[in-house]
């Protein structure tokens, strides 16, 4: 579904991503692991056209180079940023409505979402629909951001640290959501700090260090290489 080759990205003169290659298939959860500052969030932002990048990114055979963020979203790319970025003064219901994309291309049945689907997936949001988003807990805001993004019917979802700072019960709900996406055929690039959770959810994993992919393979392969974990994952 997505093919990335020789991806380089910059913040001004700072060369952050340095030749990143990977593939992401339909209905796959691909974990992107690494220490803070390794370039993981920059990779997600580059794929969404939010930072300057060079290289090749093909999605369903289409070259995404030069496309603006709104065009990428209409093509089927969804992005859940690390900071959640809810509209604090708008209600939960209003935030969710902002995720709708009237006139967007028709998606396969498995990746279409209605408002009722989101409220069924995250019951806490149903109870708080008229509450300003800024008054929600961190876990509720994460649910809201995920729900808002899903209402755009993404076929590829880039999720940056979705469980950071969340209670175990909310982490379990987020994990259930990602498994539901996989079952519906949505591809997920999961940036996650919790190694145990990421390896439980993912089909394959990448390890990033200093702006490069230093490991790519199955979970069991990573577990059998403690030197990779020690050098690139352990604090």
Count Cβ atoms below 10 Å from residue 235 Cβ, excluding itself.
5
DSSP H helices, the chain, are 40-47, 69-75, 92-97, 115-121, 123-127, 138-150, 168-183, 195-201, 219-223, 226-232
Arithmetic mean of pLDDT, 177-196: 92
Amino acid 235: pLDDT:
54
Beta strands 14-24 and 204-209 are unpaired
Amino acid 194: pLDDT:
85
Q: How many helices (H) and strands (E) does the chain have?
A: 10, 10
pLDDT tens figures, 125-169: 999 999 999 999 999 999 999 999 999 999 999 999 998 888 898
Q: How many domains does the chain have?
A: 1
Amino acid 195: pLDDT:
86
Arithmetic mean of pLDDT, 215-229: 93
Domain extent, residue 209, equals 2-232
Query: Are 21 and 4 a contacting pair, CB within 8 Å?
Result: yes
Phi and psi of 37, rounded to 5°? 90, 5
Burial of 178 (0-12, 13-18, 19+ CB in 10 A): buried
pLDDT tens figures, 3-52: 999 999 999 889 999 999 999 999 999 999 999 999 999 999 999 999 99
* Nearest residue to 80 (alpha-carbon basis) of 34, 36, 109, 47: 47
Residue that is written with structure tokens 């690039």 in the block: 189
Q: How far apart are the first and last CA of the chain?
A: 33
Amino acid 104: pLDDT:
66
pLDDT tens figures, 65-121: 989 999 999 999 999 998 888 999 999 999 999 998 876 666 666 678 999 999 999
Average pLDDT, the chain: 92
How far apart are the C-alpha atoms of 110 and 217, rounded to whole Å? 27
Overall pTM surpassing 0.85 (yes/no): yes
φ/ψ region of 34 (left if φ > 0, alpha if ψ in -120 to 50, else beta) reads left
Q: Is the pLDDT of residue 234 over 70?
A: yes
CATH of the domain at 129: 3.40.50.300
């Amino acid at each position: 579904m997505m093919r990335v080759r020789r991806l380089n990205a910059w913040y001004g003169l700072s060369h952050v991503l340095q030749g990143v290659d990977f593939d992401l298939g339909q209905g796959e959860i691909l974990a992107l692991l690494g220490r803070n500052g390794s370039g993981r969030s920059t990779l997600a932002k580059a794929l969404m056209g939010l930072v300057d990048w060079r290289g090749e990114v093909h999605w369903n055979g289409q070259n995404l180079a030069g496309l603006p963020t709104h065009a990428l979203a209409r093509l089927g790319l969804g992005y859940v940023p690390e900071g959640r970025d809810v509209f604090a003064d708008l209600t939960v219901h209003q935030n969710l409505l902002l995720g709708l994309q009237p006139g967007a291309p028709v998606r396969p049945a498995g990746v279409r979402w209605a408002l009722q689907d989101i409220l069924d997936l995250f019951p806490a949001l149903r109870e708080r629909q008229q509450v300003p988003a800024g008054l929600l807990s961190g876990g509720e805001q994460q649910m809201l951001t995920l729900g808002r993004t899903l209402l755009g019917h993404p076929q590829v979802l880039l999720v940056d640290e979705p469980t950071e700072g969340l209670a175990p019960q909310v982490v379990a709900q987020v994990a259930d959501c990602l498994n539901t996406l996989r079952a519906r055929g949505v591809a997920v690039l999961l940036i996650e700090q919790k190694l145990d959770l990421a390896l439980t959810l993912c089909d394959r994993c990448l390890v990033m260090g200093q702006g490069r992919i230093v490991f790519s393979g199955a979970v069991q392969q990573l577990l059998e290489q403690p030197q990779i974990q020690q050098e690139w994952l352990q604090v």
